[in-house]
Copies of this chain bind each other. A is one copy, B any other.
Amino acid sequence: MYRIDFNDFFTSAFSVDCILFGYSEGEIKALLIKRAMQPFENLWAIPGDLIYPDEDLEQAAERVLFELTGLNNIAMHQSQTFGKPNRHPQGRVITISYFALLRIEDFEVKASSWAGDVQWVSLKNMPDLAFDHNHILSSTYEMLKLKLQNEPICFDLLPERFTLNEFQQLYEFAFEQAFDKANFRKKIKYIPLIAHDEKQQNVKHRPAKLFSFDKSSFEEETKQNRYTFKM
């Protein structure tokens, strides 16, 4: 059988795309940059760029995110790889998407390098993005929703201290569905939460108690087994 020379294959490039999810004002948002460079100049896009030929994938994701948005040292997890031959107008570029969750209010973002702007954009209100980024984003969001049902990652999105209602509203946003308050509280009984004396401020009604996630106790007792959040 005829075989092409090995080196003929080394004509493609790889990129990473970094999907950052955050939560504020009752909505899950993604961090986007405005491209100040061709192709797709002036369109919003997921922060991403080419990987150096000798660079590890995860390292590349961290570096690229930092260069474009100023977010430093954000550990991301791989989601999926997108490789339609014509997805990049300038050549064959296969992109590996990474994602992370963070508390919007804990970080400051600042456009740099070829990013003209950076913004948190609600998933309810997503514009047309560069490349196949709408597809990448929605497919990663689906994965996020799956993970929300099986791992206690919602606490990476919520503020350190939150009310049980805020907790519930995050799930209601993600699953586009309302839950009964009393039953929601029963469902989370195996998630170790610390109840604080502190209460919600500046509300026009009875203030709710603030809670925080007890991560160490969760890990110790391997209650992972009991953590399910099928809605």
Residues of A within 8 A of B (CB): 1, 4, 6, 8-14, 50-57, 78, 80-81, 83-85, 90-92, 94, 96, 113, 228, 230
Contacts and interface: CB of A to CB of B under 8 A. Distances in A.
Contacts of A12: 10, 12-14, 51, 53
Contact of A53 (B52, B56, B57, B92): B92
This chain's copy number in the assembly: 2
Contact of A78 (B1, B51, B80): B80
B9 A10 contact: no
Nearest to A86: B54
Contact of A57 (B55, B57, B81, B113): B81
Given A10-B11, A14-B83, A56-B83, 14 more contacts: A4-B52, A6-B50, A9-B13, A9-B14, A9-B50, A9-B52, A9-B53, A10-B91, A12-B51, A51-B83, A53-B92, A54-B85, A54-B92, A81-B96
